[in-house]
Structure 1
Amino acid sequence: MYSSNETTPLPPLNPFRILEQGVSIRDTIDLLVEGKKIIFIALGSVLLVTSVYLLLAPRTYKADALLRIDKNKALLAAPLHSEANQSPTEAENPRAQREVEILRSRSVLGKVVDDLNLVVETSPYYFPVIGETLARRHDSHDGLAAPWLGLNHWAWGGEKLKVTTFDVPDRFLDKEFTLIALEAGHFRLLDPKDETVIEGRIGETLTAEVGEATPIVINIAEFTANPHTHFELKRKTSLAAIETLQKAFSVKEVSKDTDILSVELKGPNPEQLAKSVNDIATIYVNATVNWESAEASQ
């Protein structure tokens, strides 16, 4: 019997006969058209959330200044109101780095805290979600905004409060007090348990004994608000106020070997920011002059 193991080779495949199955541009367009409803809903939702956030998000302001260090360590401070120098490099000049550390020191920032009374924090009570945005959009030159639907518990815009003195016992530090505007230039102060501790007139220094060696002392220089408007009032420690200022404060050399420092401070209160930056520059200039005089005398 005869058998053969030989096989007949298959003819080569023609590459032009191979059909590649894939997604064409037409298929992609058809898919997008079919899902256009879902796409538009997702896009609209993203735009709506973004718009609401931009509308309701609290504003952050920036105040900055330039400090120029000359060879004699005398400084010239000039406030700036632009967004220039957005990406300054880190201070690499040893002398500039030393000045940066001095500017961020507690001896300088602590003086700012004392001068501007930054240990006292005040904040109006706003209507939930939209209250702060409505108050921010109100023009303060138009006076106080009328309360919506008679809801005068909250602030609606145009309110002003300046507390010159607010001393509390240690156990009340960082505790939330409530300040209520009354008629005819009077006010009421509630403790963290919402109990009345002081009621008096604006401009007077008032004291309340609370069973501690240190009484509660308050003096309000200015209080413009609709009657019954509530404010949050808090007294912090000097250390806490300095740390808060340090977090919002940055100092960098504008560029290498220029001996020009950029001082920047960010926060929600533009008026307070401007005062703080100017005070920092002034304190530092005075301190530098004193140090230079002390070194010369030695």
Structure 2
Amino acid sequence: MLRHRLAIVLVTALAPAVWGTTYLVTTELLPPHRPLLAAVIRCLPAGLLLIALTRRLPKGSWWWRSLVLGALNIGAFQALLFIAAYRLPGGIAATVGAVQPLLTAGLSAAVLGDRLTLRTVLSGIAGVAGVSLLVLRAGAELDALGVTAALGGAAVMAAGVVLSKRWVSPAPLLATTGWQLTAGGLLLVPLTLLTEGTPPTHYTAGNVLGYAYLCLIGAALTYALWFRGLRSLPPTSLSFLSLLSPVVATLVGWLALGQNLSPLQALGALVVLGSLVVAQTRRPGATAGSTPVARSAAAPPVRENV
């Protein structure tokens, strides 16, 4: 049982690890100043591809549920991330976004009836501290709208993770993933046209390679792994894995772009990894939430057929 859980954690962790390479691909291969276009091309074709492969469309309530989950996990998250990235230094945006595991733990307690433990809270605080050591730079300026967007992005992703756990789709995993990617991509299309205008008419071979990587590997594969992990892991444990993204992004920048890696950044990476390990493990013989900070009286997760 323990080995099976470890295997699920390691496979699921591949998703945020791959997402950590997005910055490198975007800066080195994609057209500049087109982040939302990249998000659309990343998500919409991947979703349509998975729907075509599975030949499954939503039924009944899963039409609107797919729209809600696609908006939270994909569309709204990407839009808020875009605003935060443009109005904040990357270090501040990543540090604010690192509160997602704590938000997920709180929502899991309120919606799913999970126990919020002191162990989880301390791990979440350590994760935020580790990310700040890893990416935060002295003299970085705050922007109210940017900070709000970063917090909003963390909140909508946390809500999407928790609702995905509560609303368990009876359809195959790849079909459900395709529905969400398609819904999120469609929601991003009008925002992209409004803010970035029409897409470029000419693309280089590097552009095509970058978009193909983000679509096939960075969306179709990784989101399938992410949602597969969500079906087996507690939402809070899953959310802690998202902290791998800034760690991988920093390591890739160091290895591929020759960026400096200071001892303080190395310490931050170790703190983040430590918080991940603690969040994924339990004391022998303990049940989830054996040291409760709070517990919700909410009903257990609802499974509905369509």
Greater share of residues in helix: 2
TM tier, smaller: under 0.3
Instruction: Identify, as 1 or 2, the structure richer in strand.
Output: 1
- Which of structures 1 and 2 has the larger relative contact order (alpha carbons within 8 angstroms, sep 6+)? 2
State the TM-score, normalized to the length of structure 2. Answer: 0.20
